[in-house]
Amino acid sequence: MFMAIPLKMFSDAAQAAEQVARELSDLIRSKPNAVLGLATGGTPLLLYRELIRMHREEGLSFAQVRTFNLDEYEGLAKDHVESYWHFMHQNLFHHIDIAAENIHLPSGTMPADEVEAHCQAYEDAIRAAGGIDYQILGIGRNGHIGFNEPGSTATSRTRRIELCSVTRGDAASAFGSIEQVPSHAITMGCGTILEAKCIALLAFGEHKAEIVKQALHGPVSDQVTASFLQQHGNTTFFLDAAAAGESQLWPKYSRNPQQNHGISRPLCAAHQGNFSKRHHSLAKFFSAEFFQIGNGNGTIQGKLSWACATQCA
């Protein structure tokens, strides 16, 4: 069944990261032993920086928080500079008060005959922790979430996977060349991810616009595994304006508000009670684009909140 995924769009990645960090800190303050699903890559870096700031300046404690990362490269030891273990410690764990025993990443160095049991143990550990409360995702240019490459099913579980050429190509500069990028990885499955109670997918930059559009509006397909999120029910996309593709994401409507009045007026009327006049005129402009995908309240509200964020920035 198709469900519009709510979006929150921000004028830049830093504002999006702040919003997600705020949601995470609210969760942790209400549930100190919350279970977080974490991602690596360039996308969540600003989010992790903001969480570190909140720890230092606002007393946000991770002492009881439990974390499970999405994936790890095969063949890389923990201390390899390109391992996700190393990434997470460099960019988050070393800077907060999380307990070492509460950190979980799949291992990329299990002997071949132990990989399956290791993946099962990872699934069991997530379940024993009570499931993931809040999952952070990026999106690959081929639409992958975690390392669930095209062809991964919606019910897939934590497993070994072969990385496709787009993914390896995108990692080539970090490794020096595509040949040096590991050919395989261990990843949480799509089914594992979809069991998270709440999911935030972050995407920033123009190079993500096309795949974001497919994930949001394309058919639910194993060729774009992020499209499975359409069936999740509690996923939000946090985008900067470039990843949202601005006019190309909703090509049917002009960005000229004058040409969208027929669409924007009813939406604004519906929200009249909730917004001040100055927010309202912004909302009126932006909601026109949203309307095409907005067949649920969450979608429309998501867009309006961007209008506010933009106005207040």
- Which residues contact ligand PGA (rule: CB under 6 A)? 41-43, 138-140
User: CB 103 → ligand PGA: shortest distance, Å?
Assistant: 20
Specify which residues 38 forms β-bridges with: 69
> Is the separation of the CB atoms in 258 and 284 below 8 Å?
no
Residue among 16 and 139 whose Cβ is closer to ligand PGA = 139
Q: Which residue is nearest to ligand PGA (CB)?
A: 41
Neighbours of 49 (CB within 10 A): 17
Shortest spacing between CB 42 and ligand PGA, in angstroms:
4
Nearer to ligand PGA, 139 or 181 (CB): 139
- Positions annotated as catalytic residues are 71, 142, 144, 149
User: What is the C-alpha separation between 207 and 242, in angstroms, rounded?
Assistant: 8
Q: Which is nearer to ligand PGA, 4 or 139 (CB)?
A: 139
Shortest Å, Cβ 286 to ligand PGA: 25
- DSSP-assigned letters across all residues of the chain: ---PPPEEEESSHHHHHHHHHHHHHHHHHH-TT-EEEE--SSTTHHHHHHHHHHHHHH----TT-EEEESEEETT--TTSTTSHHHHHHHHTGGGS---GGGEE---S---GGGHHHHHHHHHHHHHHTTS-SEEEE---TT--STT--TT--TT--SEEEEPPHHHHHHHHHHHSSGGGS-SEEEE--HHHHHTSSSEEEEE-SGGGHHHHHHHHHS--BTTBGGGGGGGTSSEEEEEETTTTTGGGTSTTS-S-GGGGHHHHHHHHHHTGGGS-HHHHHHHHHHHHHHHTT--SHHHHHHHHHHHHHHHH-
Q: Which is nearer to ligand PGA, 21 or 263 (CB)?
A: 21
Nearest distance, CB of residue 95 and ligand PGA, angstroms: 19
Instruction: Indicate the residue among 43 and 235 with the shorter CB distance to ligand PGA.
Output: 43
Residue where the block lists tokens 């949001």:
216
Angle between helices 277-291 and 297-312 in degrees, nearest 10? 130
> Residue 123 or residue 170: which is nearer to ligand PGA going by CB?
170
CB of 170 to ligand PGA, least distance (A): 7
Minimum CB separation of residue 167 from ligand PGA in Å reads: 7
